[in-house]
Structure 1
Amino acid sequence: MYALLFLLDTGILFVSFWVAGAIYVGDIPSARAIQVMQFTLPIFLVIAIYNRVYSIRALEDWRYALGRLAISLVLSAMLFLVMTFYVRSGGDFARVTYSLAIILSFAVMAGLRVLLSFYIRKNYGGRVSNVLVIEDGGPEVVLKGTDRVTADAAMVEKAQTDPAALDLLGRTMRNMDRVIVSCPVERRVFWAKIMRAAGVHGEVLSESLQELGAIALEREGGWSFLVVSAGPLGLRARLTKRVIDLAFTIPALVLLGPLMLIVALLIKLEDGGPVFFVQPRMGQGNCMFDMLKFRSMKVAKLDAEGARSTSREDDRVTRIGKFIRRTSLDELPQLINVLRSEMSLVGPRPHALGSLANEKLFWEIDSDYWQRHSLKPGLTGLAQIRGHRGATETESHLTDRLQADLEYIRDWSPLGDLRIMLATARVLVHPNAY
């Protein structure tokens, strides 16, 4: 498949330049267009190989393949144009012809990869690599597109001393790109030695590692360490998220400043109490911070711990409080928390420490609850746009929000944040906002 794609891509580039020359220049064939193609082709192929256009993942994931292909074509075009600029040879060929050829090449190459992906899914279950699962008394491993064999316990024992049994294991693993063994603890060392000797990419399933949630293995100083936790965002991602926060927060504070002053004045006029409700919440890294909200409850009935969820006809809520809660205006002061880098515009919503669901604290319901604090809490989040707002009366109310929060952390991207911010406009006024 690699060879086929390589040859077809070469042919597609040739034909695309030939057609572009015919369309724009009118020559059939256009000698200059073909000459330019001959310079572009080796540049593209080198960049494409380095950029993993021809890789296992590119064969199995057409979206990844299209992204790698687009990057390779753009880089090739840019490098070619830079080279022609420095050798001063760009004046005698049409840039429109070149652009048209690159666009045609991408369109045909992309279509080819989509068709190939469909063929692989239909005929090979979506996999182009050979994966063997050996079941030897361990937990059942269910992976799509894999071959499976059940090991005979007696044969496994004999393999340690019997060359014939060892030969059978070796033939079973031959030509496999990946071998996964599910076995009891006492046979892991044996299988590790067998797979090393067979020269295959071998993996041993471990229930204890599954429980720990191990994500990698590091070696240093002769010791092996399990990586069980890694920051969900790298430095570049954190900077990107912070830039997005500031790009929206600073203009929002300027534009919404007059509205916030009006809300503050109305709160003060109603009962003379403080404008802000300040409550400790758990933030990033399980560290506390003071979250700001416009006060929506009577001063004498403020719930600093958040042990009692607000109900639809709650007698603690003031008249202006009902309005600002229903329209989510009470959350606007959290823009200050975002400015102070205690919160982000998008992230898991920070919960009151005493919040209950079915008379249980949130972390008593699900031990994964604390994992939601690996990112900054947000003004809005994936759970909110999915409608998970309001009181947590049942345990499912909490688990639904938690799963959405963990999904957000796992799949974070700048575009995802922008989509959530746009979708938030639909839920600013919500039946569960009371």
Structure 2
Amino acid sequence: MQRVLLEPALTGPAQAPKRAADRRGPFRPRRLVSTRARLRGPLVAHMFQAGDVVAVLAADLAARALAPPQAAQAPFFAAPLALVAGLALFRAYGFGRRESLPIHLGRLAVGACVAAAVTALALYPFVGRAGFQAALAAWFPISLAALAGLHCVWWFCVRRWREDGRLTPNIVVVGATGAAARLIAAGLKRREVNILGVFDDRAARAPGQVHGVPVLGDTEALVGHRIMPYVDRIVITVPSRARTRVGQLIERLAVLPNEIALLLDGQDPAYEAAAISRVADVPLARICGHSTNDVRAVVKRTQDLALGALALALAAPVMALIALAVRLDSPGPAMFRQRRHGFNNEEIVVWKFRSMRVETADATASRQVCVGDDRVTRVGRFIRRTSLDELPQLINVLTGEMSLVGPRPHAVGMRTGDVQSAKLVAEYAHRHRMKPGLTGWAAINGSRGPVDTPELVRRRVALDIEYIERQSFWLDLYIMAMTLPCLVGDRQAVR
């Protein structure tokens, strides 16, 4: 998990230390956690529910073992389901920021008691009084104790994750308007979202801060700001009557991989209040950008962990031989590290086997590999041609920085000719709306190796965006299955 201290990043004269600290704003997160490592509230709630189900079923088995022979069996089957439903009904998975542990446990106890009462009323006519009392006496105390212990753990986990910045969404606001002021005021009151800063193209006329949240510059500063890999959402709050300005802002910000939402100033107050209340949880009026599908994200991460661990175990002997060959072939370390763009433009360190001589290594890919490149060693030519140099990136997959399948990560500052590749295609950053992959849709469709012409850059980006729009579990399996045949049959790609 990569973190960065939140410091001001503005052009202009240096500020005094106190002034610099003030520019962090009233939300003042000590650290910024990348969106890749961020936990989403609904997904965490589902994880807690799954844990509760396991605990209740375990309590159910224990209660059956302890129950007297005359105890009815029906409550043991129905009560666990009713219990979890009762907890959800009484918002025992809400974990409000201001909710203390005793209040949370009280909410848990009320939900459990209501669930037990409903179960009793529903099943009593069928099992009789004696059998039902014996069943409840054995089951309810065990289940309640197990759930209370678990929810103490859940409560402290949520508290720690909030302190670490992993559970509170980060947003920036575009437009120092009345709607922005009301949004920030609501955020200060509820503390369920971190508003890191305000950006406004009319910065010369904008105030220096809005309710203490600093105005950090115009949209040009926003596009290149180093906190953007840590921002979940950009909220545009310009006046609703300024349609031309809204369109220009959306067009300008659409180059970013971040999700962009619209909260126009001057709309119906009731609609605005409802939108502001949802800003930390769901998109307002999502215009563009990455929108997370929690189920798909969990499935993909499970796929990465299971298959990635298996692949690393199987590849370990081969990797050891490659490392030895690299060391014997030319002086220097066996491994090469390079900073590349990851999810949401986050900079990650990617591992590879070294394929070039140490003195000619190019960490920024300012000169892409060409046919007969004299920088590449003898072993390097083989491992690059077969993509064996990429095997250490299985470590990046297991640490969560990369995925098995996704757009290939490009070096930070990579150039195509004399121009940065990112500047050749307006949608270039859209390929960062998903974690980079060890292999990908572009790789099995002929776009493999250097992208040393603008046409190759455009084709690579188009294929990457096509994959992001189509991504599924089965498509990932297909791409992985086709990777090896494509590598074996690819005699033209320069690597």
Higher relative contact order (CA 8 A, sep 6+): 2
TM-score, normalised on structure 2? Answer: 0.44
- The structure whose Rg is larger is 1
